[in-house]
Amino acid sequence: MSGRLLAGAVLAFLLALPFVPIGGTRQYVLHVVIQIFLWSFIGQAWSLMGRFGLVSLGHGAFLGVGAYTTTLLWNFYSLTPWIGMLLAVAVAVGIAVVLGIPSFRFRVVGHYFALVTLAVGEVIRLLIIAERDWTGGSLGLTLKTAGSDWSVLAIQFADKRVFYYASLAVFLAGLWIWDRVDRSMARSGLEAIGEDETAAASVGIHVTRFKLGITVLSAALTAVGGVLYAQYFSYVNPDTLSGIGVSLKIVFAVVLGGMYSLLGPLVGTALTTALSEGLRIAFGLKLLGMAETIYGLLLIIFIIFLPSGIYGSLHQLLRRRATKTAPA
Amino acid sequence: MIDPIFLVEAAINGILLGGVLALLALGLNLIFGVLDIVWIAYVDLVMLCMYAIYFLNAVYGWPIWAAGVASLGVGTLLGVGVHLLIISPILTSAPINQLLATGGLLFFLQSFATFLWTTDHKTVRLSLPSYEVAGIFLPATRIIPFAISILAVISLYLFLTRTYIGTAIRAVSQDRDAMALMGANPQRVYIVTSAVGGAMAGLAGALLIIQYSVHPFFGAQFGPLTFMVCVLGGLGNMVGAFIASFIMSEIIAIGGVVISTEMGYVIAFVVFIIMMFVRPGGILARRQ
């Protein structure tokens, strides 16, 4: 019961955060928190696959497709991102299916799967750059302004608080989906597949269908993350949305926090964001690359000593202690 | 219609790029084949070796050949270091953790290089002649690396087939557990393999610095292509990787001239993805 109470208190705090009088730093705090929620959501989407051994190094592909689909439709056809989002999800799902069916049929697993997804991420990034006539190439693309400070139709708001609540809502929805998957039968099936595909198939688990399902779900959620990213920053760029860099960034934040636990992606994203923002404030541009250096080093250490991540390991420790002290 | 001379030139450039890829793939493929681990940061080790040569040659004034030899040493040390510090503790954990650990190394090396040496492109100046054959320019800076990389492939092949430790390496790559049962020490084989792989990175660095400038994102530029060449060729299959590097580089070079540079890469990556589905064991693998 105390867990539920704590969750309620945290939620109440988060809901009230935009109204806490912290003066001039409010915009900045909100900006950082929005980014944490957004990237945690994307991390959760990734971990849906990652925790079952389907490690994708190409989630940037879905992110880029999501962001660019709505942005291009809005800029050229003035199509509202509400509909654009559906189309973006549809495109991402399409890519996931086209990639997934042959991958799972032909048993492309482990690091082969990782390399295939890596190639897909690069293909999307290069396609965006190659079609520079309408995507703006590597210079990126700015979202056409809706002409007012408050446009629900265009999902453009000058007030950061709107995006704060939107990212919080999306993040909570991500938690809910993660939890649903965690409690479902599909989880057992996918875990069995992750352990041993042949054995899983022999007890009647439909390997391709299960894997495809989780891939499609993960791709769709990542595309939603991409749409939200584009609407919030109102600028999209192939290098910050697709390609290896961003794909690895997603993976690393999740692994750091712990990919097998509900709040792992949040913890990982919060830590990496805090680290890079902190170093940026403390040293400005003098220590260019220092944040990522520490980040890479931490990652190696974590993989070696704490493969289930910070949150995951703490969680295990607490649970072990709880069972030990509990009366028999 | 494109002038055929451009296509011929593109094809020749493709062969020269293929030599570079083959060289990069060589050491990675050896490690890949023996330890069954993808060193995502492999090309970043090459990048470090290139920096080593740049500093020895351009800053401390060493002759280029001496810097090249030193680079082999640097590469060997890096290879052994990566194995002992990162791979060895997680040798038995899930392959994906190994991939992510070397991914962390990639982030580390890339950003540490940015931190130490900024993102400026560093070039070693070398005046070598350029040959003109039937209206096509062939710079020596590309022919020499090509020739040396082919020599390196041949000597690696001889090392693996004609020496005792080479045979041991091939044996481990076939069956890790059986090898241990035969009384051999896999740990030693791993260290030798990592050392040879690292030395290959040093060699690649020495040959690449004379035709490319080095910057912290060099690894990101060539890394993905290098893994794809290794996988396309078939794990640990030297000849396959050699052929795969020329297939990929020809697609990139000719596609680049006919459509655009990016589309050349896109086609190469799509070919890779499709090949993974139809021939997961590599282009030379026999169907089972």
With CB atoms and an 8 Å threshold, state whether A112 touches B280.
Answer: yes
Q: B83 CA to chain A: closest CA distance, Å? A: 13
Report B:79-108 residues touching A (Cβ under 8 A): 86, 89-90, 93-97, 99-101, 103-108
Closest CA to B135 of B2, B1, B3: B3
Three-state secondary-structure class, residue A150: strand
Using an 8 Å Cβ cutoff, are A252 and B107 in contact? yes
Instruction: Supply the ipTM of this predicted assembly.
Output: 0.82
Of chain A, the percentage scoring pLDDT greater than 70 comes to 96
Q: pLDDT per residue over B126-185, tens digit each?
A: 767 677 776 667 777 778 878 888 888 888 888 888 888 888 888 877 777 777 787 777
Locus of tokens 């482990």: A110
The tens digit of pLDDT for each residue in B45-72 reads 999 999 999 999 888 888 888 888 999 9
Can you give the residue ranges of every domain in chain B? Answer: 4-116+139-278
Q: Say what percent of chain A tops pLDDT 90.
A: 30
Select from A128, A300, A305, A306 the residue whose CB has the most chain B CBs within 10 Å, as the one to mutate to test that interface: A300
CB contact under 8 A, B101 and A299: yes
CA separation for the pair A263, A187 (Å, rounded): 17
Are the beta carbons of B98 and B37 closer than 8 angstroms?
Answer: yes
A110-129 average pLDDT score: 88
Mean pLDDT of A284-308: 78
Is residue B286 pLDDT above 60, yes or no? no
Strand segments, DSSP code E, in chain B are 130-133, 136-139
For B:207-236, CB contacts with A below 8 A are: 216, 220, 223-224, 227-228, 231
Using CA atoms, how far residue A84 sits from A62, A87, A125, in Å, is: 14, 5, 20
| B147–chain A Cβ distance below 8 A for any pair | no
Write phi, then psi, for A235 (nearest 5 degrees).
Answer: -150, 135
Contact B249, B15 (CB under 8 A): yes
Q: Which contacts (CB < 8 Å, 24+ apart) does range A239-243 have? A: A239/A125, A239/A138, A240/A140, A241/A60, A241/A63, A241/A64, A241/A67, A241/A68, A242/A60, A242/A61, A242/A63, A242/A64, A242/A121, A242/A122, A242/A124, A242/A125, A242/A128, A243/A60, A243/A121, A243/A122, A243/A125
Q: How far is CA B252 from CA A63, A200, B108, B245, B260, in A?
A: 26, 41, 29, 11, 9
> Looking at A189-203, A232-246, A287-301, which range is the least confident one?
A287-301
Q: Provide the CA A108 distance to its chain's centre, in angstroms.
A: 23
Which pLDDT score is estimated for B82? 92
E strand or H helix at B243: helix B238-258
Write down the pLDDT at residue B80. Answer: 94
Position A53 pLDDT exceeds 50: yes
Which amino acid type is present at position A278?
A: G
Tell me what pLDDT residue A328 has.
44
Q: B237 CA to chain A: closest CA distance, Å?
A: 16
**What is the C-alpha to C-alpha distance for residues B14 and A322, in angstroms, rounded to an integer?**
63
- Asked if the model's pLDDT at residue B288 lies above 50, the reply is no
Greater pLDDT, A3 or A73:
A73
Which of B173, B219, B220, B177 is closest to B196 using CA atoms?
B173
Handedness of CA A164, A167, A173, A179 (dihedral sign): negative
* Contact assignment for A299 to B224 by CB distance below 8 Å: no
Query: Which residues 38-77 on chain B approach chain A with CB closer than 8 angstroms?
Result: 38
Pick A289's closest partner by Cβ from B94, B111, B272. B111
Q: How far apart are CA B163 and CA B144, in angstroms?
A: 27
**What does the angle CA B10 – CA B17 – CA B192 come to, to the nearest 5 degrees?**
165
Q: Token digits for A81?
A: 């991102």
Distance from CA of A13 to the nearest CA of B (A): 35
B272 or A322, higher pLDDT: B272
B228-254 residue pLDDT tens = 888 888 777 778 888 898 899 999 888
Q: Which residue has the tokens 């020490």?
A: B185
- Cβ-based neighbours of B287, under 8 Å, separated by 6 or more: none
